[in-house]
Amino acid sequence: MKLNFLSLDFKVLMLLVGFLLIDFNCQSQAIVNTSKIRGNLKIDSTWNPIAYLSHIKSFNSMHTISNDMIITQTTIDSLGNFEFDTNFLSESDNLYRVHLSKKDNPPATLIIGGTEENHVFLIANNKSNIFITNSGENRLFNTDSIKGYKPNQYLYIIDEISNAIDSINFKSLKIKREFIKEGINENLRVIADTCTNSLVSLYALHKSQFFNNYSKNQTFYNNYLDKWKNEKSIYFQDFKNQLPAFKSNNYKFILIGIVCFILGFFINFFTKKKGISKKRMHSLSIQERKILRLMILGKSNKEISEECNIGVSTVKSHVSKIYSKLNIKSRKDVMKIDLELYNL
Amino acid sequence: MYKSTLTIICLIVFSSANLLFSQENDNILKHINISKQTKIEKVHVEVLEETIQFSFSISCNTRAGVIKVEIYNPKGEKVDEITVKNLVNKASLVENVNGQLNKKIKYPDKGIWVIKIIPNNSIASISISCNLKNESK
């Protein structure tokens, strides 16, 4: 009876473990299933009920539209719901753009600024769970449209800060205006320096007009690159390529390459002119070297045969061997050989 | 009698207020057709001391090739840009690619602003609409 009781307990325990495992499996499935870019948009009848997802490979391409940037599309249902599968996205954070187009416009349409702005940027990876929504009032997307993956909130804070430059009423002294602009850019650099998400950090730096600031603040950029030295993303590579220091380094490499090429050309030219390598010269026999010496001195085959006490045909045979060993074609080339250089 | 006097007073007040705080608008509209032979084109916009707002809208409809539109302030700094690429793929149907850049700048830098259109082997049409809101003295 006791044994039966124990075995019953064990069965219940096993069943519980089984349920837990199934539940855990379901939960992990649910986690996998929730990793999506989803949304609910209130759109009027002028918009096509299709949402497009584009991969933005560089911050400089944020204002670029092309058919090949669109990686996937999805239909927005009558209630405004839509979702993109994110399984095929990169494991690391990348920049994406969700856009809609008007009914009379082609799918690849980008409207920047104004009340009809048709897109929103977001940072995502293949595990991020993002929800896009809108208020349906004046604009298609609002500044707080993206919910779920935290780096996106910082992305919009950065946007709001940088857009302030164009919207602040600067009806004041020009110097004051420059001062405010510089203050905004300095704040963006502080965000870039303190942010833990590499892509958000780089975005802040991109918005801070680092081009104009690099020469004044090189230490900051060197320290920044040192901090993110393990970051191998396409965005960091692109950023490095834009920095004047890296550009000049590339320029230096090109210059060194050109100098080496010219040097190589001249070395090749002079060695050719001076003739033959010592290794080739050593491949000649004593008799061949003697005949070569006489050839250099301008002696004819007959004169060489008389001096060496050999027949003209033998001289001819030696000459052809010399030509082949030294890789030369005529007596003219022989005349160019320096006697002293080869101790002939 | 009283009613007509009040109307006249109101009219005088409103017209003088309008004269005092009126704003003048300058509009520039330009349409450019781009063919494969078209080279870089520049549109110059003069922003005056009294300009309180400079807004522009650039629409680009590209049938083939790449069109890049860059906007430079009088200091020569790039303020914004848009690139519209239509890299025609034989496998897909030829479809236009559209881009539109709208921007509003309050109290812009005084001087010549440049809208630079850089085509690359493209067939496109571009519409530029600029509005300068000037404060009348």
CB–CB of B24/B134 below 8 Å? yes
| Dihedral over alpha carbons A169, A174, A178, A179 (to 10 degrees) | -90
Beta-sheet pairing, A64-66 with B78-86: parallel
Walk along chain A (344 residues) and give the pLDDT tens digit of each residue: 444 444 444 444 444 434 433 343 433 333 445 688 999 999 989 999 999 999 999 999 999 999 999 999 999 999 999 999 888 899 999 999 999 999 989 999 999 999 899 999 999 999 888 999 988 777 888 777 888 888 998 888 898 888 877 766 666 666 777 788 888 889 999 999 999 899 999 999 999 888 777 888 888 888 898 899 888 899 998 988 888 765 555 566 778 888 888 888 887 766 655 556 777 788 888 888 888 888 888 888 888 888 887 888 888 888 988 888 888 888 888 887 877 776 66
Show residues of chain A in contact with B97, CB under 8 Å.
65-67, 106, 108-109
- Residue B122 C-alpha, separation from nearest chain A C-alpha, in angstroms: 13
Identify residue A218 by its one-letter amino acid code.
Q
**Virtual torsion, Cα B121, B123, B129, B130, nearest 10 deg:** 10
Helix, strand and coil content of chain A, in percent to the nearest 5, comes to 55, 15, 30
Amino acid of residue B132: L
Longest pairwise C-alpha distance within chain A: 127
CB contacts of B87 in chain A (<8 Å) are: 66-68
Q: Which two tokens stand for residue B98?
A: 């559209």
Amino acid letter at A168?
I
How far apart are the C-alpha atoms of A210 and A212, rounded to whole Å? 5
Tell me if chain B has a CB within 8 Å of the CB of A165: no
- pLDDT at B65 exceeding the cut of 70: yes
- Residue A92: how many other CB atoms lie within 10 Å: 14
One-letter amino acid identity for A21? L
With vertex at residue B59, the alpha carbon angle to CA B55 and CA B61, rounded to the nearest 5 degrees, is 175
Per-residue pLDDT tens digits for B9-42: 655 555 544 444 456 778 889 999 999 999 999 9
List C-alpha distances in Å: A111 to A165, A333, B132.
Answer: 21, 72, 21
Residue A67 carries which side chain, given as an amino acid letter?
A: N
Residue of chain A whose alpha carbon sits nearest to that of B92: A67
**Which residues 83-102 of chain A have a CB within 8 Å of chain B?**
101
Structure-block tokens of residue B126 = 């571009």
Collect all residues with Cβ–Cβ distance below 8 Å to A238 and sequence separation of at least 6: A57, A58, A59, A60
State whether residue A138 sits within 8 Å of chain B by CB.
Answer: no
Residue pair A63/A121 in contact (Cβ under 8 Å)? The answer is: no
As given in the structure block, the two tokens for residue A192 are 């870039």
DSSP letter assigned to residue A230: T
Measure Cα distances from B113 to A40, B52, B75 in Å.
41, 15, 9
Chain segment B104-117, per-residue pLDDT in tens: 998 888 899 999 99
CB A146 within 8 A of CB A95: no
Report the b/e string of A175-192 with b at 16+ CB within 10 A: eebeeeeeebbebbbebb
Specify the amino acid at residue A14. Answer: M
Q: Do A108 and B102 touch (CB under 8 A)?
A: no
Classify residue A300 by its DSSP letter: -
CA–CA separation, B27 and B24 (whole Å): 10
Residues of B in contact with A166 (CB under 8 A): 103-106
**Closest Cα in chain B, distance from residue A60 (Å):** 9
Name the closest residue on chain B to residue A109, using Cα atoms.
B98
What per-residue confidence (pLDDT) applies to A173?
Answer: 64
What is the pLDDT at residue A261? 86
Contact B60, A66 (CB under 8 A): no
DSSP letters for A161-187:
HHHHHHHS---S-HHHHHHHHHHHHHH
Q: Which residue of B has its CA nearest to A166?
A: B105
**Contacts of residue B61, Cβ cutoff 8 Å, sequence gap at least 6:** B96, B97, B98, B124, B125, B126
Chain A residues whose beta carbon lies within 8 Å of the beta carbon of residue B107: 169-171, 177
> Cα separation of A200 and A277, whole Å?
61
Whether residues A63 and B82 touch (CB distance < 8 A) is answered with yes
With a cut of 0.85, is the ipTM above it? no
DSSP per residue, A25-69: HHHHHHHHHH-EEEEE----TTB-SEEEEEEE-SGGGTTEEEGGG
Closest chain B residue to A115, measured at CA:
B102
How many other CB atoms sit within 10 Å of the CB of residue A29? 10
- CA dist B26 to B54, B109, B132, Å? 10, 16, 5
